[in-house]
Chains A and B, each alone.
Chain A
Amino acid sequence: DVKVTQSSRYLVKRTGEKVFLECVQDMDHENMFWYRQDPGLGLRLIYFSYDVKMKEKGDIPEGYSVSREKKERFSLILESASTNQTSMYLCASSLSTGAGYGYTFGSGTRLTVV
């Protein structure tokens, strides 16, 4: 089974801190994605990457950056955490071809910024 592992299940950070959310996949997928999920707003795409060192903005990139130095790892960075970034963060990965099933998601990181 494809595994997408997010480094933390729960995280509490202070306003203004720099926060790193890590995601690792073990199936050599080209594509990786970061979403956030908030009640009533569904899943919204923050950033994605379709190759090492490549990144594309999603629908809500403001306040975030990403890093993909290795194929298996995709990091989401909150440069200066704010309370409105309190959310559930979900990482996903997919193949670029033959990916009939689409995405595999991690279990999520629930981030609270205080």
Chain B
Amino acid sequence: DAKTTQPTSMDCAEGRAANLPCNHSTISGNEYVYWYRQIHSQGPQYIIHGLKNNETNEMASLIITEDRKSSTLILPHATLRDTAVYYCIVRVSYFTGTASKLTFGTGTRLQVTL
């Protein structure tokens, strides 16, 4: 799996867009970008994933640069409940046999404030 680099922490005002960057310059052609988040004292939660096109769902948008070396997770209107650690993970999209494991880095701690 390709290595990712994320800022250690970020702040965002409630109601504003939170833009969380991730660098993955060694990403391979068949690797996807996954985002998870972990709210304090809970298990991580899937947010979104994408290959090369921008993706949007009810939780967030994922913008991947054309060269795929970096991406940004966007929470369009951050609330206090979005305060969490956000993990960017790059891996293939299948979870078969010994390739099923998922490796987490240290993520970005997002603090949403009033």
The answer to whether A and B belong to the same complex is yes
Binding site for B on A (CB under 8 A): 4, 30-31, 33, 35, 42-43, 45, 48, 50, 56, 58, 88, 90-92, 94-97, 99-108
Query: Which single member of A91, A94, A104 contacts B100 (CB below 8 Å)?
Result: A94
Check A42/B44 contact, CB under 8 A, given A95-B95, A96-B96, A100-B49: no
**Known contacts A45-B101, A103-B102: A50-B45 contact under CB 8 Å:** no
Q: Is the interface of B mostly helix, strand, loop or mixed?
A: loop
Residues of B participating in the A interface, judged by any CB pair closer than 8 Å: 34, 36, 41-46, 49, 93-98, 100-107
- B43 near A101 with CB under 8 A, answer no
**Is B45 within 8 A of A105, CB to CB?**
yes
Q: List 6 A-B contacts (CB under 8 A).
A: A35-B104, A94-B102, A99-B95, A101-B49, A102-B34, A102-B46
Interface pair A102/B98, CB less than 8 Å apart? no
